Structure formats: structure tokens, C-alpha cells
Structure 1
Amino acid sequence: MMKTIYRILLALTFTLALTSCGKDSKKAAPEPQIQPFAYEIDSRKDVSYAGTPRMTVSVYLNTDAVPEEDRMVETAKQIWKKEKTKWREFTVFMIFGELENFNYGAYGIAEFTPSGLKEFRVNDAPLQMLELKKSGVLDQIRD
């Protein structure tokens, strides 16, 4: 009887060891690298307040297509990493393609704190304003 219990315990130990090794090997697989966009800095503004060092950076992404969110996030992180020790709050505003300036707002907005990305959001308003401009509606409103 003792030998049977011993064999069962040995089999269970061996099974657990194999199972845990399989899980570790799955965790070790590297995640694919997300390629940031090439970009040009449009402006940098120190908007510090009440003892809080704060910087905003406006950038133009070098793409004509609507940019993917994960690549915008990666681009913003790349910009933030170069500056993170200087600022307590850091915001990256992004436009692209036919959005020639920030008059209609930023398409991508990334907010950072010293610990990293706090929030990322996409603002569709600049694209909507561009469509109104192309259709001539904005010119009719101004007249």
C-alpha cells in the first residue's frame, strides 16, 4: 500500500513539474515589437503650474493613412522616454496626413506621469473638421 501511495505522489509531482515547465516556456516567448512612426516635432511648450513641471509636445506623424493606436502609443512613449526625468506631467499631441496643423485639435493624445502612460485617447474631431473643410461646409459657415 505504501508503495502505491509513493508511486501516486511521484506521478503527481512529475505531472506538476511538466505542467509548470510548459507554462514558463509560453511566458518566455517575446512579444512582437511595435514600430513607432517617424515624426517631426511641431512645438514644445512648458506649461508648468504650481510647482508641477509639465510639458506638452505637438508632433506630426509621417503617415498619410489613419494611424494605428498601438503605433501612436509607441511613438508617444518614445518621445516621453527622452524627457521623462525632467517633467512630472507630459502630454504628446499627434496629427498626421492632411491634418496640416492643430487648429482642429489633436487626433492622438497621450498623457504621461513619472510612472508611465496614464491615458491615451483618439479624438475624431480633427478628421470630421477636415471632411467639412473638403466638402466646403466650413467656407459656407464663415461667409
Structure 2
Amino acid sequence: MTEREFRDYLDSYGAALEKWPQHLRVKAEKALVEDAALRDVLTAEKEFSRAFAVDVPAPDGEFENRILAASYALPQKAVLQDDTLPRLISWRIAASVLLFAAGIALGSLQQAARTDGYAVQADTLMSYYAYSEDGGM
């Protein structure tokens, strides 16, 4: 078992080898006997798991009140006025509509400029005479 595989299995199954599937546990125990680096990795993972396994006492009833009091004691930052946001939004909408209209206008000018009898559609040059009523004849 490589160190990479061992680390992946540690992430998946934890540092308690007895909780690993039997076939992986046998491979891991064999690898731990052979490789000191894997033993160090397992020791570090056990310490990490032990640090998170500590029971943390529940906070007392005044904990929330202390947090709220501390937040109210801080100076408050100024916020935007209530009418500022709608004005900013209306300008964004107006700019979007203006850009959309400019795109339509440029597109119509581009179509009007082609008078050679051909149109480009889907990267293929085709004659629109073939679609006329007389079949292009």
C-alpha cells in the first residue's frame, strides 16, 4: 500500500484501523510494519481525531447576551440610503436597454449592407437564389 492510498483510506475510514474493511486493514497493518512514515501519518491522524473528540461544554445562558452586547458596543458603519439602491438599479437597466438597442441597430445595418446576392448562414456560403420561387432558374 502506498502512502497516497493509505492517506486516502485514512480520510475515508478514520484513524481507528479496527473500523476499516477487513481486506484494507490487513494491507494497512502490513504497510505500517514496513514503513515508519506511515506510522507517523497514522499517529498524526490519531492526534487530530483525538483533538476533535473532546467534549465541549454547552455555553451558559448568558453567552448569547454577551455576544449581542459586544456587537452593540462596536461603532456601526454607515449604510446606503434607502433610495440609493433603486436609483443604481434603474441606471443599470437603462444601460442594458441602450446596449441591446445599439446591438439591434448595428445588426440591422450589417444586414442592409449585403447586396451581393449571397448570405452567410452557419458558416456555409449559400445562394438565396436557390430558394426563390422559380428555383434559381
Say yes or no: TM over 0.5.
no
Rg comparison, structure with higher value: 2
| RCO comparison, higher one (Cα < 8 Å, 6+) | 1
> How high is the TM-score relative to the length of structure 2?
0.27
Which one has the bigger helix percentage? 2
> How high is the TM-score relative to the length of structure 1?
0.26
Which one has the bigger strand percentage? 1
